[in-house]
Amino acid sequence: MQIIPAIDLRGGSVVRLAQGDYQRETTFSDDPVSVANSFRDAGASMLHIVDLDGARSGTPEHISTIEAIKRSTGLRIQAGGGFRNRRSIEYVLDAGAERVVLGTVAVEDPDLVEELVLEIGAERLVVGIDARNDQVAIAGWEEQTNITTLGLLKGMTSLGVFRFVYTDISRDGTMTSPNFASTQRLAEEASQGGSVVIASGGISQLDDLLTLATTGVEAAIVGSALYRGTLDLNEAILKLDPTS
Protein backbone atom coordinates (compact mmCIF):
# COMPACT_ATOMS: atom_id res chain seq x y z
CA MET A 1 0.00 0.00 0.00
CA GLN A 2 1.46 3.32 -1.07
CA ILE A 3 1.76 6.04 1.60
CA ILE A 4 1.07 9.53 0.23
CA PRO A 5 1.70 12.60 2.41
CA ALA A 6 -0.81 15.44 2.06
CA ILE A 7 -0.09 19.14 1.70
CA ASP A 8 -3.20 21.31 1.98
CA LEU A 9 -2.67 24.88 0.82
CA ARG A 10 -4.59 27.96 1.92
CA GLY A 11 -3.39 31.52 1.64
CA GLY A 12 0.08 30.28 0.72
CA SER A 13 0.47 28.23 3.91
CA VAL A 14 0.30 24.54 4.74
CA VAL A 15 -2.82 24.01 6.84
CA ARG A 16 -5.20 21.32 8.02
CA LEU A 17 -8.95 21.64 8.42
CA ALA A 18 -11.05 19.66 10.88
CA GLN A 19 -13.91 17.85 9.11
CA GLY A 20 -13.54 20.15 6.12
CA ASP A 21 -14.53 23.19 8.19
CA TYR A 22 -12.76 26.34 7.00
CA GLN A 23 -13.38 27.89 10.42
CA ARG A 24 -11.39 25.12 12.10
CA GLU A 25 -8.03 25.62 10.46
CA THR A 26 -4.58 24.95 11.89
CA THR A 27 -1.51 26.38 10.13
CA PHE A 28 1.61 24.24 10.23
CA SER A 29 4.02 26.02 7.89
CA ASP A 30 4.34 29.03 5.62
CA ASP A 31 6.86 27.18 3.43
CA PRO A 32 5.12 24.45 1.38
CA VAL A 33 8.27 23.66 -0.61
CA SER A 34 10.22 22.95 2.58
CA VAL A 35 7.45 20.67 3.84
CA ALA A 36 7.41 18.83 0.54
CA ASN A 37 11.17 18.33 0.67
CA SER A 38 10.91 16.91 4.20
CA PHE A 39 8.43 14.33 2.94
CA ARG A 40 10.73 13.47 0.05
CA ASP A 41 13.64 13.04 2.47
CA ALA A 42 11.49 10.69 4.56
CA GLY A 43 11.05 8.44 1.54
CA ALA A 44 7.78 9.53 -0.07
CA SER A 45 7.40 8.89 -3.80
CA MET A 46 4.23 10.96 -4.30
CA LEU A 47 2.52 13.98 -2.75
CA HIS A 48 -1.20 14.72 -2.50
CA ILE A 49 -1.61 18.50 -2.79
CA VAL A 50 -4.96 20.18 -2.22
CA ASP A 51 -5.67 23.79 -3.16
CA LEU A 52 -8.24 24.62 -0.47
CA ASP A 53 -8.75 28.13 -1.79
CA GLY A 54 -9.45 26.71 -5.22
CA ALA A 55 -11.78 24.04 -3.86
CA ARG A 56 -13.89 26.76 -2.28
CA SER A 57 -13.78 29.33 -5.10
CA GLY A 58 -13.89 26.91 -8.03
CA THR A 59 -10.70 28.33 -9.54
CA PRO A 60 -7.23 26.93 -8.65
CA GLU A 61 -5.07 29.48 -6.87
CA HIS A 62 -1.88 27.57 -6.07
CA ILE A 63 -0.67 26.10 -9.34
CA SER A 64 2.55 28.10 -9.11
CA THR A 65 3.22 26.51 -5.71
CA ILE A 66 2.54 23.07 -7.13
CA GLU A 67 4.99 23.84 -9.92
CA ALA A 68 7.62 24.99 -7.39
CA ILE A 69 7.18 21.84 -5.33
CA LYS A 70 7.55 19.67 -8.41
CA ARG A 71 10.67 21.53 -9.48
CA SER A 72 12.26 21.31 -6.03
CA THR A 73 11.39 17.73 -5.06
CA GLY A 74 11.00 15.87 -8.36
CA LEU A 75 8.23 13.84 -6.71
CA ARG A 76 5.09 12.69 -8.45
CA ILE A 77 2.17 14.95 -7.55
CA GLN A 78 -1.53 14.26 -7.27
CA ALA A 79 -3.30 17.65 -7.19
CA GLY A 80 -6.87 18.58 -6.33
CA GLY A 81 -8.96 21.60 -5.44
CA GLY A 82 -10.97 23.69 -7.89
CA PHE A 83 -10.19 21.82 -11.11
CA ARG A 84 -13.59 22.11 -12.74
CA ASN A 85 -12.87 22.84 -16.39
CA ARG A 86 -10.60 21.58 -19.13
CA ARG A 87 -8.30 24.61 -19.04
CA SER A 88 -7.41 24.35 -15.34
CA ILE A 89 -7.00 20.58 -15.53
CA GLU A 90 -4.60 20.81 -18.46
CA TYR A 91 -2.80 23.71 -16.77
CA VAL A 92 -1.95 21.81 -13.61
CA LEU A 93 -0.87 18.74 -15.58
CA ASP A 94 1.41 20.96 -17.67
CA ALA A 95 2.74 22.45 -14.41
CA GLY A 96 4.03 19.03 -13.43
CA ALA A 97 1.20 17.20 -11.69
CA GLU A 98 1.10 13.50 -12.46
CA ARG A 99 -2.61 13.25 -11.66
CA VAL A 100 -5.48 15.65 -11.08
CA VAL A 101 -8.29 14.93 -8.64
CA LEU A 102 -11.78 15.76 -9.88
CA GLY A 103 -14.56 16.28 -7.35
CA THR A 104 -17.27 18.80 -8.15
CA VAL A 105 -16.87 18.41 -11.91
CA ALA A 106 -17.43 14.66 -11.66
CA VAL A 107 -20.87 15.37 -10.25
CA GLU A 108 -21.78 18.42 -12.31
CA ASP A 109 -20.21 17.59 -15.68
CA PRO A 110 -19.65 13.85 -16.13
CA ASP A 111 -19.54 14.35 -19.91
CA LEU A 112 -16.33 16.33 -19.48
CA VAL A 113 -14.85 13.58 -17.33
CA GLU A 114 -15.63 11.04 -20.05
CA GLU A 115 -13.97 13.26 -22.67
CA LEU A 116 -10.88 13.72 -20.48
CA VAL A 117 -10.54 9.97 -19.93
CA LEU A 118 -10.35 9.55 -23.71
CA GLU A 119 -8.13 12.56 -24.42
CA ILE A 120 -5.77 12.74 -21.43
CA GLY A 121 -5.98 9.15 -20.22
CA ALA A 122 -7.51 7.58 -17.14
CA GLU A 123 -4.10 7.18 -15.50
CA ARG A 124 -3.87 10.96 -15.07
CA LEU A 125 -7.35 11.40 -13.60
CA VAL A 126 -8.65 10.62 -10.11
CA VAL A 127 -12.21 11.14 -8.90
CA GLY A 128 -12.62 12.28 -5.33
CA ILE A 129 -15.48 10.66 -3.43
CA ASP A 130 -15.93 12.99 -0.45
CA ALA A 131 -18.86 12.04 1.74
CA ARG A 132 -20.83 12.71 4.89
CA ASN A 133 -23.09 9.86 6.00
CA ASP A 134 -22.49 8.17 2.63
CA GLN A 135 -23.74 11.22 0.69
CA VAL A 136 -21.27 12.96 -1.63
CA ALA A 137 -20.30 16.58 -0.88
CA ILE A 138 -18.90 19.00 -3.47
CA ALA A 139 -17.73 22.64 -3.80
CA GLY A 140 -15.02 22.42 -1.17
CA TRP A 141 -17.24 20.05 0.86
CA GLU A 142 -19.67 22.90 1.50
CA GLU A 143 -22.52 21.62 -0.71
CA GLN A 144 -24.24 18.32 0.00
CA THR A 145 -25.71 16.18 -2.81
CA ASN A 146 -28.07 13.20 -2.78
CA ILE A 147 -25.55 11.05 -4.63
CA THR A 148 -24.22 8.07 -2.70
CA THR A 149 -20.56 7.10 -2.59
CA LEU A 150 -21.33 3.83 -4.34
CA GLY A 151 -23.45 5.60 -6.95
CA LEU A 152 -20.63 7.99 -7.84
CA LEU A 153 -18.07 5.19 -7.98
CA LYS A 154 -20.23 3.09 -10.31
CA GLY A 155 -21.12 6.05 -12.51
CA MET A 156 -17.54 7.16 -12.95
CA THR A 157 -16.28 3.60 -13.49
CA SER A 158 -18.73 3.29 -16.36
CA LEU A 159 -17.03 6.32 -17.97
CA GLY A 160 -13.57 4.76 -17.74
CA VAL A 161 -12.31 6.23 -14.46
CA PHE A 162 -10.35 3.63 -12.50
CA ARG A 163 -8.83 5.49 -9.55
CA PHE A 164 -10.74 7.10 -6.69
CA VAL A 165 -9.88 8.91 -3.47
CA TYR A 166 -12.43 8.19 -0.75
CA THR A 167 -12.70 10.58 2.20
CA ASP A 168 -15.16 10.33 5.06
CA ILE A 169 -15.39 14.05 5.81
CA SER A 170 -16.50 13.44 9.39
CA ARG A 171 -13.13 11.76 10.06
CA ASP A 172 -10.87 14.11 8.10
CA GLY A 173 -8.42 16.00 10.29
CA THR A 174 -9.91 14.55 13.47
CA MET A 175 -7.14 12.08 14.35
CA THR A 176 -9.81 9.54 15.34
CA SER A 177 -9.47 6.68 12.85
CA PRO A 178 -10.53 6.05 9.26
CA ASN A 179 -13.96 4.70 8.39
CA PHE A 180 -12.64 1.21 7.79
CA ALA A 181 -16.00 -0.39 6.98
CA SER A 182 -16.99 2.11 4.29
CA THR A 183 -13.47 2.14 2.87
CA GLN A 184 -13.42 -1.64 2.53
CA ARG A 185 -16.91 -1.70 1.02
CA LEU A 186 -15.89 0.81 -1.67
CA ALA A 187 -12.56 -0.91 -2.31
CA GLU A 188 -14.31 -4.25 -2.82
CA GLU A 189 -16.88 -2.72 -5.14
CA ALA A 190 -14.15 -0.92 -7.07
CA SER A 191 -12.12 -4.08 -7.54
CA GLN A 192 -15.11 -5.81 -9.13
CA GLY A 193 -15.14 -3.09 -11.80
CA GLY A 194 -11.38 -3.07 -12.29
CA SER A 195 -10.78 0.18 -10.38
CA VAL A 196 -8.92 1.08 -7.19
CA VAL A 197 -9.48 3.23 -4.12
CA ILE A 198 -7.11 5.49 -2.21
CA ALA A 199 -8.09 5.97 1.44
CA SER A 200 -8.08 9.38 3.10
CA GLY A 201 -9.23 10.89 6.38
CA GLY A 202 -8.82 10.07 10.07
CA ILE A 203 -5.45 8.30 10.01
CA SER A 204 -3.66 8.98 13.29
CA GLN A 205 -1.13 6.20 13.81
CA LEU A 206 0.66 3.28 12.22
CA ASP A 207 -2.00 0.80 13.37
CA ASP A 208 -4.57 2.68 11.26
CA LEU A 209 -2.42 2.15 8.19
CA LEU A 210 -1.86 -1.51 9.02
CA THR A 211 -5.63 -1.99 9.20
CA LEU A 212 -6.22 -0.05 5.97
CA ALA A 213 -3.73 -2.31 4.24
CA THR A 214 -6.14 -5.20 4.86
CA THR A 215 -9.09 -3.43 3.17
CA GLY A 216 -7.76 -3.69 -0.36
CA VAL A 217 -6.99 0.00 -0.96
CA GLU A 218 -4.19 0.95 -3.32
CA ALA A 219 -2.82 3.75 -1.15
CA ALA A 220 -3.46 5.91 1.90
CA ILE A 221 -3.19 9.68 2.17
CA VAL A 222 -1.76 10.90 5.47
CA GLY A 223 -1.92 14.48 6.72
CA SER A 224 -2.59 15.54 10.31
CA ALA A 225 -0.78 12.57 11.85
CA LEU A 226 2.45 13.68 10.17
CA TYR A 227 2.10 17.30 11.20
CA ARG A 228 1.16 16.45 14.79
CA GLY A 229 3.91 13.86 15.13
CA THR A 230 1.80 10.79 15.89
CA LEU A 231 3.02 8.95 12.81
CA ASP A 232 6.56 8.57 11.51
CA LEU A 233 6.44 8.77 7.71
CA ASN A 234 9.68 6.91 7.12
CA GLU A 235 8.63 4.07 9.41
CA ALA A 236 5.26 3.77 7.70
CA ILE A 237 6.84 3.71 4.26
CA LEU A 238 9.39 1.09 5.24
CA LYS A 239 6.69 -1.18 6.68
CA LEU A 240 4.02 -0.76 4.03
CA ASP A 241 5.05 1.02 0.84
CA PRO A 242 6.71 -1.05 -1.91
CA THR A 243 6.79 1.95 -4.28
CA SER A 244 9.34 3.98 -2.33
- What positions carry a catalytic annotation? 8, 130
Distances (CA, A) of 21 to 1, 57, 148, 171: 29, 15, 21, 12
**Maximum Cα interatomic distance, the chain, rounded to a whole number of Å:** 43
